[in-house]
Structure 1
Amino acid sequence: MNNEALDDASIAATAHLKPIAEIAAAAGVPDEALEPYGRHQGKIDVACLGGGEPTGAVVLVSAMSPTPAGEGKSTVTVGLGDALAAAGHRTMIALREPSLGPVFGLKGGATGGGNAQIVPMVSINLHFTGDFHAITSANNLLAAMVDNHLHHGNALDLDPESISFKRVLDVNDRALRRIRLDSGGGRETGFDITAASEVMAVLCLARDMGDLKARLGRITVGFTRSGLPVTAGDLEASGAMAMLLRDALKPNLVQTIAGTPALVHGGPFANIAHGCNSAIATDTARRLADVVVTEAGFGADLGAEKFLDIKARAADCAPTVVVLVATVRALKMHGGRDKADLAGSDPTAVAAGLPNLARHVRNVRRYGYEPVVALNRFGTDGDEELAVVENYCADNGVRCAITEVHARGAAGGAELARHVGALLGQTPSYRGIYPPGADVEEQIEAIVRQVYGGDGVEFAPEARAQLERIRAHGWERLPVCIAKTQYSFSDDPSLLGAPSGFTVRVRELVPKTGAGFVVALTGTVMTMPGLPAAPAAERMDVHDDGTVAGLF
């Protein structure tokens, strides 16, 4: 069927989906391990998979610095997985679950696009199997138990002013950023979005139920008046939290339009969290497939850095190949063109934006990889503009493939799959930009100077005091998770391209002792986003027959 003229939602609606049991069987999932959630999605009980080490090669898809125009990284990830499967590789895709915040905010759906989508699209984008709700409930149970402890005498002598653990909601709601509670003497707090919560990070980094419970128990909610940390374990909350997360811990199995199996599990943001799907899903995919195509959120300075410096170290899943998605329109914006003026051909603006891509290429090489550039083609791209990128790659020894998976599915990713396939036999060559035992301050300096290209770091007085507390409690060797704008290498979203001469300002350091990292909040980045002036929700509806409109 020729569906090139159809929109993304129509393509997804007309796709022929196989029963989930058929997808599971083809992927090597035994009947006893599959827990169907309807006809086309299910969960995998990893404990029923039997033995076997995770040996599949990981292909990490990242990107140049994104723009509000959108670069189609998830679409390329899905299309590459389909293309590798079509080329004969036993392939599985591993992606994050969409958060309702972006779905109803600025970005809309997050399941790929065109002929490179994971399906059932509507279900995945909306409530799916309930994982986000379970994470929200577990998080807010702990928050309620904190305030209940204060109400009933505060036997642990928890200082209300030190409580850093917040409630969460999977909606962009700026009105909840700062609230005042009746408990604890009327203390001030706020909400984070669920995707930024420590419980989300814990679920995504846990290896099994035992590890999940241990990590939940280590979550620091605040400090006693004498300065000692108080944890979820101290409040005896971790068991009940784990109970709420029992089913959410199991990875979700779906399929692409082409029938490639996909695990969609966990959903931390990469600008305010670590931005990768769950370690359990990645491990499961590596046990079932020879090649696992996964992505890390936003540009390589955010998601890929955190995948390599946090997830790969914690879960022993260093990638074999790294792909960088680039687009002509993103290069134009980084070259000085306005978002509203991207349609006309402008090879000069494309060339002016190349330093942004070049810095990402340099960074991937610093981690020990030779990247493959996936030049995601849009209908407005001119041949001369595409040639600018191809020539840059050829001149700098970078593999490059024009990718048209949105329009052509697996066939549009065949060249990209050939480049990736040629690198699959190599041994992962990951090397960190800082040693495993580096201090938090040393890590931040290394990332800012070597990855972002900045001149250094400035710590706000509050952050400096928090750093001393982190050191006093022996947490200074935890990896750092930097929260910053996705639009710039700096902490200023207006500095596009490849800026230099800037200093990154760390305003707050938050130890996430359950997740096992320290969050460094920079610039004006928020852990509870707000809706734009015209949110995507305004364009959405459900018809009388139950079909959804406006999700894409």
Structure 2
Amino acid sequence: MTSDIDIARAATLRPIKDIAADLGLGFADIEPQGHRIAKLSASALHALADRPHGKLVLVTAINPTPAGEGKTTTTIGLGDALNRIGRKAVIALREPSLGPVFGRKGGATGGGLSQVVPMERINLHFTGDFHAITSAHNLLSALIDNSLHYRLPTATGLPLDGRHVTWRRVLDMNDRALRQIATGMGPGNAPARETGFDITVASEVMAILCLADDLADLQARLARIRIGRDEAGTPVTAGDIDAAGAMTALLVDAMLPNLVQSIGGSPALIHGGPFANIAHGCNSVVATRAALALGDFTVTEAGFGADLGAEKFCNIKCRSAGLAPSVAVVVATVRALKYHGGAALADLGREDAGMLTAGLGNLTRHVENMARFGIPVVVALNAFATDSAAEQAAVIAHCRDVLGIEAHLCTHWANGAAGAEDLARSVATLADAGSADFRFLYPDAMPLADKLRTVAREIYRASDIALTAAATRQLTAFEAQGFGALPVCMAKTPYSFTADETVRGATSGHLLPIREVRLSAGAGFVVALCGDINTMPGLPKVPAAQRIGVDAAGNITGLD
């Protein structure tokens, strides 16, 4: 089988100015980053602000498995297919993180004939947005430590208390050794203190960039970042140590969405990349709004399954940006459903009606969850060569007869746009019908603990949440400080409806443990850490990095 990187490398790409022209953008509206990549200019974004918006299509999935579901591949294939049937579509994706690229997952630009390209550049450094975010985040860390070193007064009138600094550093790499570290060691470097690293995609700066309306909003949000307390216990922000301006200066170019193309020639805006298990999991508001202004349809995705990325897309991103999806596509595969039914990974290529039937509960749960937001749903059954026709038919029949929705067998990996044409027609029909009645899962006024409980019960089907005493105190303090109206952002394993990644299927009645909550005042949400989730992942025993290299001709290999 030809690898994804070889397929991408063999594709004939058009000049990026021609892709821009398809969207009605002139050369002055883009800032080329070579021949195949560009950023939209600030003036172009300003001109798009008053245009009417097209329809928003959200692509999500069942709980991810080692078998793979192809959510990004389906997002790209659906965008290509909508263009194929004459419905002007723009694809809107997140940027890949180097953590999973070199860790467990590998590349994140789709697969087969449904990829965004140039895939090597997109998967690796791309246009440097993540490096800018990392630098802005760590600039704040450096300013904090400098303030501690000199005991500089903050805007509160008192110096920071080094024992109560909550801001950590970030790196866009999986590195468990950095989760807990000591800084300020050695002569002249005081004060020594314990801190740690998160991965860049968990950074509040990343979340802020992805939720900000423009540069002014970006700077205002950066200034609101809570970094710790002063020596009297008063909360201190990034604005209180005059950090927001310099941080914004590092992010001016990073705020501009990146324009590329799919192998099929569709325009794609790729911008931002917070993880959905430890952050809110959506591409930037700026890119989504630009895509909505440029096309009749915007096809976007939210990270991991509908229990994480899609829930946060609805409750956080749509709430913040005033967006409302017209249709949701839930992606599934026969292989993944059998895995959720209890099949061993080695047996997923074997026909097994019993395991498939047992696994259908996971798909059912995600479809039901999207319906709770008032969004019409269609299922994309991503075909694999090991599927039997009977298994594929069983999934489609379940969707039709039990769930009352359409499901389509999709072959866009192998056939490009033609392989998702039926899905595209179904999505367009649902969107045109205007039957969406979008709503949030909980109101702003609901207490924070009840918001967490609502997500746990309604989305994960837990019996309740189990808050530690520390988490309860934190929630009480956040509400007393005026942050009770914020939405909540669950940080938990994406592989299960529970906090235990080994529990597959569609379990219910469990208790969801929440050990800690963190205030992201600039981003505008409260993060709840469930179970043993980490905000700095570690590498697997055999990381993807070990198969990536460069051949004698200078071509990158193994990036699939």
Alignment TM class, shorter chain as reference: over 0.9
Question: Following superposition of structure 1 onto structure 2, how do residues 72-471 of structure 1 map, counting pairs within 5 Å?
Answer: 72-156=70-154, 157-182=159-184, 185-395=191-401, 396-427=403-434, 428-471=436-479
- Distance in structure 1 (CA, Å) of the matches to 2:251 and 2:198: 19
Gapped regions of structure 2 (runs ≥ 5): none
1:6 aligns with 2:8: no
Aligned to 2:534: 526
Q: After the TM superposition, which of the residue ranges 190-199 and 486-495 deviates more from structure 2?
A: 486-495
For 1:114-157, what per-residue CA distance to the aligned partner results, in whole angstroms no more than 9, with x for missing partners? Answer: 00000000000000000000000000000000000011123132
1:536 aligns with 2:544: yes
Asked if 2 retains the 8 angstrom alpha-carbon contact of 1:320 and 1:426, the reply is: no
Asked if 2 retains the 8 angstrom alpha-carbon contact of 1:54 and 1:284, the reply is: no
Aligned to 2:518: 510
For 1:200-226, what per-residue CA distance to the aligned partner results, in whole angstroms no more than 9, with x for missing partners? Answer: 000000010100000011001011232
Asked if 2 retains the 8 angstrom alpha-carbon contact of 1:463 and 1:507, the reply is: yes
SS of residue in 2 equivalent to 1:234: helix
Aligned to 1:48: 44
- Distance in structure 2 (CA, Å) of the matches to 1:391 and 1:508: 43
Gapped regions of structure 1 (runs ≥ 5): none
Structure 1 segments, 4+ long, off by >4 Å, are: none
SS of residue in 1 equivalent to 2:529: strand
- Distance in structure 2 (CA, Å) of the matches to 1:123 and 1:63: 26
Could you say if the C-alpha distance between residues 500 and 184 of structure 1 is closer, same or farther in structure 2, counting changes exceeding 3 Å? farther
Give 1:184 shift.
6.2
Could you say if the C-alpha distance between residues 455 and 184 of structure 1 is closer, same or farther in structure 2, counting changes exceeding 3 Å? farther
- Distance in structure 1 (CA, Å) of the matches to 2:95 and 2:114: 16
TM-score (norm 2): 0.96
Give 1:54 shift.
4.7
SS of residue in 2 equivalent to 1:509: strand
Q: After the TM superposition, which of the residue ranges 144-153 and 337-346 deviates more from structure 2?
A: 337-346
- Distance in structure 2 (CA, Å) of the matches to 1:196 and 1:68: 22
SS of residue in 2 equivalent to 1:438: coil
- Counterpart pick for 2:21 among 12, 21, 25: 25
- Distance in structure 1 (CA, Å) of the matches to 2:518 and 2:286: 25
Could you say if the C-alpha distance between residues 114 and 531 of structure 1 is closer, same or farther in structure 2, counting changes exceeding 3 Å? same
For 1:224-271, what per-residue CA distance to the aligned partner results, in whole angstroms no more than 9, with x for missing partners? Answer: 232321111111011110000000000000000011000000000000
SS of residue in 2 equivalent to 1:425: helix
- Distance in structure 1 (CA, Å) of the matches to 2:51 and 2:150: 48
- Counterpart pick for 2:62 among 57, 64, 69: 64
TM-score (norm 1): 0.98
SS of residue in 1 equivalent to 2:65: coil
- Distance in structure 2 (CA, Å) of the matches to 1:135 and 1:495: 35
- Distance in structure 2 (CA, Å) of the matches to 1:550 and 1:254: 22
Code of the aligned partner of 2:25: V
- Distance in structure 2 (CA, Å) of the matches to 1:98 and 1:135: 14
Give 1:438 shift.
1.8
Aligned to 1:37: 33
Give 1:32 shift.
1.4
Give 1:537 shift.
0.4
- Distance in structure 1 (CA, Å) of the matches to 2:431 and 2:270: 23
Q: After the TM superposition, which of the residue ranges 42-51 and 444-453 deviates more from structure 2?
A: 42-51
SS of residue in 2 equivalent to 1:510: strand
- Distance in structure 1 (CA, Å) of the matches to 2:425 and 2:3: 28
Give 1:53 shift.
2.9
Give 1:192 shift.
0.2
- Counterpart pick for 1:15 among 6, 11, 18: 11
Alignment coverage as a number of residue pairs: 548
SS of residue in 2 equivalent to 1:43: strand
Code of the aligned partner of 2:83: A
Asked if 1 retains the 8 angstrom alpha-carbon contact of 2:17 and 2:26, the reply is: no
CA RMSD of aligned residues (A): 1.1
- Distance in structure 1 (CA, Å) of the matches to 2:299 and 2:415: 19
- Distance in structure 1 (CA, Å) of the matches to 2:26 and 2:437: 33
- Distance in structure 2 (CA, Å) of the matches to 1:505 and 1:185: 35
